[in-house]
Structure 1
Amino acid sequence: MISRFRSLIQRNLAAKIVALMVAVILWGYVMNEQNPSTEGSFTAHVQLVNVPEGYKVTQGTDKVKVTVRGARSLFVSNSDEDFEARVNLQEAKEGKGEYKAQIKMPQGFELLDVQPETVEVTLDPIVSRKVRADINVNGSPASGVTVAKVTQASAEVTVEGPSSAVNEVDRLIGYVGLTSKNDADFALQVPLTAINSDGREVSGVTIQPATMYVTVQMARGLTKKIVTIQPVSENDLPANLELVSMKPNPLQIEVAGAENIIANLTAVNTEKITLADVLQTTDKTVKLALPPGVTVTNHDVLVHIVVRNKKNGKSME
């Protein structure tokens, strides 16, 4: 049986080999004509893997363009969803970095190019810190009534989030609105907002707790008076700069107190303003340093600080 099969194979062996080669060539020719090799591109979704904990992760792009070569039938049977760009962050470091994407694609394709070649990924550590909380009182109370004292539950509140956002927070602020109905003491929970040194809201942070318990004590029979605001600063401006001016906004403020206390009061000072971090003309929000027995509706004031370079006298805008 075996010898007969071997004899059958070996009979006209050369002719059979030639026929096989011709068949292979013809098959390749037909396939190349009917299903030729071609080039094309797909859009691959970027997937981050091995992402470290304790960071806010931001990627520059979520898609890359993948250029491949393959049989025309492969382009018909596959789509963007069959391609994936994986970025391994196992060895990633804090901050911004460029990481190469590894392309996962269907069998039969030859990878020609990936654009962009790398994906920008930023790892921003999640941190928390205590920040000053200020309560501002706006509006006008009932006739003959003024704010005697505002008491807040805590002077500082915890802010948590990516370090870039948390470090931008200058203070937390909450607002208490007065109306003509406010003629007696009251208390309420005041929502807090994180703001930067320019007075703009900082997003992307969590305030814990998000509200502040505030009590407002009202008083009758106090005398009201308009006085000027006098900014007062520390003597800690950087050595290469000199102070040109400090201008408060508003220039004047209404204060209240017993008549014998405010009769001779013409101005109120701000708390001492540190200039150590002033590198150019800037604005700072500071509190008023009120004498005992003197009250104001809003303890905060914005001070415009102008500085210039000692060497050339140019204003530091």
Structure 2
Amino acid sequence: MDRIPGKNITAKILALILATVLWLYVMNEQNPPIEAGFTAMLETRNADGGYIVTNAPDAIQVKVRGPRSIIAGLQARDIRAYLDIRGLGEGKHTVKVHASVPASLELVEVNPDTVSVTIEKAINKQLPVEVSLSGTPADSLVVGKAVANPQQVTVEGPKSLVNEAQRVVAPVDLTGKNGDFDVSVPLRILGRDGKEIKGLTLYPGQVSVSLNLMKGVNKKILDIKTIVFGNLTPGVTLKRIITEPDKIEVSGPNDVLDKLDSVYTEPINVTGITKDTAREVKLQIKEGLVASQNSVIVHISVEPKPAVPPPH
């Protein structure tokens, strides 16, 4: 009769419940749930073709809760944080930050939970590569020629930044060089103010520069003169234009230097200027000459045009 099914079923159920409670107690004692914070890289998803998201933070903070043993082995790359910008057009938007964590964990907090971003059209343009020289070569050598290959590159990125990009520079250090050489250098993108612009992509990102060093040259200090074109805004007149510096040291063959008293800037367009302005402008250096710098800051000062008295 002791083997009749169902007998002592209550005792068996109580034993199972007791075992489960005991297991949960042991697990909480040995592997209790804890909270931890992680820095997660922020991705952008579902951007419409031809658009780029700018001003978004690179990373956000995520807090999770779970068993200590799992938290201990968790890495930041196991957490995915992203912005879903499906259907959003150009302009500024406030976008919710989404985060996904492993199934065994609970997502506690995302900070910030929304971010402000700007969506812009992606464009590109081509710019010539300028070789920017620094340092002094050995044995009083000077550069006879510096040629970049390729001589033109493509700048790509958000429309606002691409429109700011005015120059692409290949910096080359001549310190201690004692003969012709080739060097591969990364490029820098500069704006109208001469400052480097970040957030753009160059194709290619670096160029090869071939330099020819030669002897038998002299140095000469030359005045810097400006070339101006365009029309100022009505009611405004040009007060003065000065360059910083106003003179520059140029090295090269004697027969070329003897014919020079000054160096000219590239043409400066003053159309639409309504207030005092400073611009970095490239110098027109003749081939075979080397200047101590390839560009100068031009300060353009304007003032209101005097009123014309009415005729009597």
TM-score normalized by structure 1? 0.61
Q: Deviations over 1:22-61 (max 9, x none)?
A: xxxxxxxxxxxxxxxxxxxxxxxxx998642332235889
Which piece of structure 1 moves more, 283-292 or 218-227? Answer: 283-292
For 2:161, what is the secondary structure of its paired residue?
helix
Q: What residue identity is the alignment partner of 2:157?
A: G
- Give yes or no for the alignment of 1:308 onto 2:303: yes
Asked which structure has the greater CA Rg, the reply is 1
Q: Is the 8 A contact 2:144 2:287 kept in 1?
A: no
Measure, in 2, the Cα distance between the counterparts of 1:175 and 1:307: 34
Instruction: Report how far residue 122 of structure 1 moved.
Output: 2.8
Match of residue 234 from structure 1: 229
Instruction: Report how far residue 158 of structure 1 moved.
Output: 0.8
Measure, in 2, the Cα distance between the counterparts of 1:133 and 1:125: 25
- Any stretches of 5+ residues in structure 1 without a counterpart? 1-46, 64-85, 102-117, 313-317
Instruction: Report how far residue 134 of structure 1 moved.
Output: 1.8
Aligned length, in residue pairs? 232
Instruction: Report how far residue 206 of structure 1 moved.
Output: 0.7
- Give yes or no for the alignment of 1:178 onto 2:161: no
- Give yes or no for the alignment of 1:163 onto 2:159: yes
Instruction: Report how far residue 221 of structure 1 moved.
Output: 0.6
Q: Is the 8 A contact 1:238 1:276 kept in 2?
A: yes
For 1:216, what is the secondary structure of its paired residue?
strand
Measure, in 2, the Cα distance between the counterparts of 1:49 and 1:187: 42
Compared with structure 1, are the counterparts of its residues 119 and 206 closer, same or farther at alpha carbon in structure 2 (3 Å cutoff)?
Answer: closer
Instruction: Report how far residue 198 of structure 1 moved.
Output: 1.6
Compared with structure 1, are the counterparts of its residues 261 and 127 closer, same or farther at alpha carbon in structure 2 (3 Å cutoff)?
Answer: closer
For 2:228, what is the secondary structure of its paired residue?
coil
Compared with structure 1, are the counterparts of its residues 204 and 277 closer, same or farther at alpha carbon in structure 2 (3 Å cutoff)?
Answer: farther
Q: Deviations over 1:182-231 (max 9, x none)?
A: 12111111211112212222111111111121111111011211112111
Match of residue 130 from structure 1: 126
- Give yes or no for the alignment of 1:220 onto 2:219: no
Compared with structure 1, are the counterparts of its residues 246 and 154 closer, same or farther at alpha carbon in structure 2 (3 Å cutoff)?
Answer: farther
Alignment of 1:230-309 (within 5 A): 230-276=225-271, 278-291=273-286, 293-309=288-304
Match of residue 190 from structure 1: 185
Compared with structure 1, are the counterparts of its residues 221 and 131 closer, same or farther at alpha carbon in structure 2 (3 Å cutoff)?
Answer: same
Instruction: Report how far residue 159 of structure 1 moved.
Output: 1.0
For 1:289, what is the secondary structure of its paired residue?
coil
TM-score normalized by structure 2? 0.62
Which piece of structure 1 moves more, 265-274 or 47-56? Answer: 47-56
Match of residue 146 from structure 1: 142
Q: What residue identity is the alignment partner of 2:258?
A: A
For 1:229, what is the secondary structure of its paired residue?
strand
TM superposition outliers: structure 1 runs of 4+ over 4 Å: 47-51, 58-63, 86-91, 97-101, 118-121
- Any stretches of 5+ residues in structure 2 without a counterpart? 1-42, 61-81, 98-113, 308-312
Instruction: Report how far residue 100 of structure 1 moved.
Output: 9.9
Q: 2:52 aligns with which of 50, 56, 67?
A: 56
Q: What residue identity is the alignment partner of 1:204?
A: G
